[in-house]
Amino acid sequence: MKKRRIGIDWDGVLIDWQGFSDFKDTFGGPKEDSVVAINTLVDQGYECYILTAREKKDWGAIRKWLKKHKFPEMKVTNVKVPSVAFIDDRGIRFTNWKDIYKYFR
């Protein structure tokens, strides 16, 4: 059976990202309903994983934060693997190139 994977962006999707301050990154708390939503998806048989542009050196801190906030254990990666969906706060849903072009005029 094929795995039903969902790639989930980190900054702005799971955490209320506070940005960089004095070159020190600050993780905010979980986005509202994110813990329940991810646990529900996992209970329904989805394999959720964190898809982030952050450097590999940050992945341990991400895993620690996930555990602290009671998220299920999830893989952290910067590789987009075949998935049924990607959840991202900066994504644009593709319909056709004419529609995409409208975003950048």
Q: Residue 22 sits in which domain range?
A: 5-103
- Mean pLDDT of the region 19-41: 79
Residue type, 9: D
Whole-angstrom distance, CA of residue 14 vs CA of residue 98: 31
pLDDT band at 26 (very low <50, low <70, confident <90, very high): low
Residue 104 has pLDDT above 80, yes or no: yes
Whole-angstrom distance, CA of residue 66 vs CA of residue 89: 19
Residue 33 has pLDDT above 50, yes or no: yes
> In this structure, what CATH number is given to the domain that contains residue 86?
3.40.50.1000
Q: How many domains does the chain contain in total? A: 1
Residue 23 has pLDDT above 60, yes or no: no
